[in-house]
Chain A
């Protein structure tokens, strides 16, 4: 019996062009058997949510290294909720100060994975929750 594969959207939020981490994680998730859609650069929260719903993903993984995470991550979680996609797991990564993490989690980002995280841990996290 084949299990349905976990569908993940990896998204670069805002103007930040650092996509090495996002691409490495996208490839690692793919190698772990997930179906991964990568948005490319310069996505607004609205665009990310539209794509997430269109692609019917179970996970949205947001990346930002430009310090815009406070303004850009919470709206993604909020818009997903507003549009009824309440079961979507929203994750974040990049350069995110530890002191911002409680706020992000409070606004619906389930977990933040920062510098030094292993892809193995991310894969495990997703597989245990989806």
Chain B
């Protein structure tokens, strides 16, 4: 892109410019000795063509919607259509969450995102001993199809796009959504949405695993195959880096570990007999939007470029859609403070902007009370309006990839790509993501980064307003959301009534059928759909699978 002679001349001039500054640093110091990204890469004083001398527009950037998609996966990006504004929501009963969904849709959000409580995520009904104290606390409680029906009451499934943060029991929740669609008279090809369905990051960073890796991968590839045939407009997985980042990883680790997980899923699906172009267009990703603004923008661009190369070169995918990394973003919960919570509004705003400048397809913005409770209505409204200001008022959506060509952004994109490849190749040398996880490699890297981050806060090297700088006595926000403690009791009662009122013999038969089929390698989705339609509960279905597959034994690494 640049005339190499001119670049060399510039290099010489810049070195002289730097020398003069360094000579005066005693008298006019910079604020730090060194400036670094969150991934510990040095940030230079200035970026010029000399810092990106090897950049080739055609090879490294290309046009939006064309390989390697650095500048975006669609040609018109937000000029055509804004990202989906999709606030993660869920608490208490299905009825309460249904009300919050309707509120958010009425305020202009354009997609649904469902948060489930921990017993649901871990395949337990509300009456299980381990559900004690957890029912409805971090998300909506779903014990059976009945709860899904209540959750989407008055919401036509052909009119919304729904993302569901469910992993180990994703097949069961997907089956319930399908069953509901059929009840609503909606054809499955009209369903739009996503299930997270990413077990590998559960082992590494999130913890809502149930079964061991091998049967978990089987369930995942069963879903890929079933949806390719029956629910073709559904994103069958959201390969996630958000939680890896929340657990303490750097930006580089976030995308490296996520893309390594992606490789493992594509490998598994191919080994299960699927053709790559048959399922790969429906893979999607989920990243974090953290504080270091330009690093985050560059990170998203690097991720697209890397994935495109992996899909073309390693997996030989031919369909251009197989090469496109489409992603949802959530602003970094771990960066928000309990102290002076209104300051979180600004943090989230800049993080959201970085995701938009990074070309996200979908976005959740955290609420200011993130460190204290689930979002109150006023708080989630501010979070939604944050996205709307970016989308409608400030002009950043008027052109595609506005930061493309910035010497800094392109240098950062290159650096992040290079560093991520180092990790990806290392993981491949270990035998892939599953092996790397079994060896504890990802977990140790994440923990090291998390510890280093905390040390930086405690030495003051990393500023956190309200925590180690500009402290003040701040008032606890009023009207924090509280989950009604009666939810557990009412849900257990609901469960009892359901189990009394259904055709028990039909349930027993379908569960027995599931038990048998789970021991073969037949696709389990049709049987699970049958089971949920008979109102077998989530706990009952997962109970059968626990029996057959066993439970994952965590390794405690510290």
Q: Cβ of A20 and Cβ of B372 under 8 Å apart?
A: no
CB of B476 closer than 8 Å to a CB of A: yes
Complex Cα gap A69–B206 (Å): 19
Closest B residue to A10 by CB, please name it. B558
Chain B residues near A24 (CB-CB < 8 A): 248, 450-451, 454
Q: Cβ of B558 and Cβ of A20 under 8 Å apart?
A: no
CB of A15 closer than 8 Å to a CB of B: yes
Closest B residue to A38 by CB, please name it. B558
B339-382 vs A, CB cutoff 8 Å, 1 = contact: the mask equals 10000000000000000000000000000000111000000000
**Residue total for A at the interface (Cβ-Cβ under 8 A):** 35
Q: Cβ of A27 and Cβ of B451 under 8 Å apart?
A: yes
CB of A92 closer than 8 Å to a CB of B: no
Complex Cα gap A115–B458 (Å): 13
Most buried by A among B134, B202, B334: B134
Q: Cβ of B338 and Cβ of A66 under 8 Å apart?
A: no
User: Which stretch (A39-47, A54-62, A79-87, A103-111) binds chain B?
Assistant: A39-47
CB of B138 closer than 8 Å to a CB of A: yes
Given A68-B134, A72-B133, A23–B558 Cβ distance below 8 Å?
A: yes
Give the dominant DSSP class at B's interface.
loop
Q: Cβ of A97 and Cβ of B451 under 8 Å apart?
A: no
CB of A49 closer than 8 Å to a CB of B: no
Q: Cβ of B556 and Cβ of A72 under 8 Å apart?
A: no
Name 15 interchain pairs, CB-CB below 8 A, sorted by A: A15-B118, A15-B121, A18-B207, A18-B246, A20-B334, A23-B447, A23-B450, A23-B558, A27-B558, A42-B554, A67-B137, A97-B372, A114-B338, A116-B371, A120-B458
Q: Cβ of B133 and Cβ of A20 under 8 Å apart?
A: no
Chain A residues near B130 (CB-CB < 8 A): 14-15, 42, 44
* B135 CB → nearest A CB, Å: 9
* A98 CB → nearest B CB, Å: 6
Q: Cβ of A20 and Cβ of B246 under 8 Å apart?
A: yes
* B340 CB → nearest A CB, Å: 10
Chain B residues near A20 (CB-CB < 8 A): 246-248, 334, 450
Closest A residue to B119 by CB, please name it. A15
* B394 CB → nearest A CB, Å: 31
Complex Cα gap A62–B270 (Å): 43
Residues of chain B whose beta carbon lies under 8 Å from any beta carbon of chain A: 118-119, 121-122, 130-134, 137-138, 202, 206-208, 246-248, 334, 337-339, 371-373, 447, 450-451, 454, 457-458, 464, 466-467, 476, 480, 482-483, 554, 556, 558
Closest A residue to B483 by CB, please name it. A67
Q: Cβ of B132 and Cβ of A72 under 8 Å apart?
A: yes
Complex Cα gap A114–B202 (Å): 24
* B556 CB → nearest A CB, Å: 4
Q: Cβ of B134 and Cβ of A27 under 8 Å apart?
A: no
Chain B residues near A38 (CB-CB < 8 A): 556, 558
Complex Cα gap A1–B338 (Å): 43
CB of A95 closer than 8 Å to a CB of B: yes
* B397 CB → nearest A CB, Å: 34
Most buried by A among B133, B207, B372, B467: B133
CB of A50 closer than 8 Å to a CB of B: no
Q: Cβ of A15 and Cβ of B447 under 8 Å apart?
A: no
Closest A residue to B337 by CB, please name it. A116
Closest A residue to B466 by CB, please name it. A116
CB of A119 closer than 8 Å to a CB of B: yes
Complex Cα gap A44–B132 (Å): 10
8 pairs of A and B residues whose beta carbons are closest in the complex? A17-B207, A71-B133, A68-B133, A67-B137, A40-B556, A15-B118, A115-B338, A38-B558
CB of A70 closer than 8 Å to a CB of B: yes
Complex Cα gap A15–B476 (Å): 27
Chain A residues near B133 (CB-CB < 8 A): 14, 67-72
* A89 CB → nearest B CB, Å: 20
Chain B residues near A72 (CB-CB < 8 A): 132-133
Chain B residues near A115 (CB-CB < 8 A): 337-338, 371-372
CB of A118 closer than 8 Å to a CB of B: yes
Complex Cα gap A40–B554 (Å): 8
Complex Cα gap A42–B447 (Å): 19
Complex Cα gap A44–B496 (Å): 25
Complex Cα gap A26–B131 (Å): 26
Closest B residue to A24 by CB, please name it. B454
Given A42-B130, A71-B132, A116-B467, A17–B208 Cβ distance below 8 Å?
A: yes
Complex Cα gap A36–B558 (Å): 10
Q: Cβ of B118 and Cβ of A14 under 8 Å apart?
A: yes
Complex Cα gap A95–B481 (Å): 13
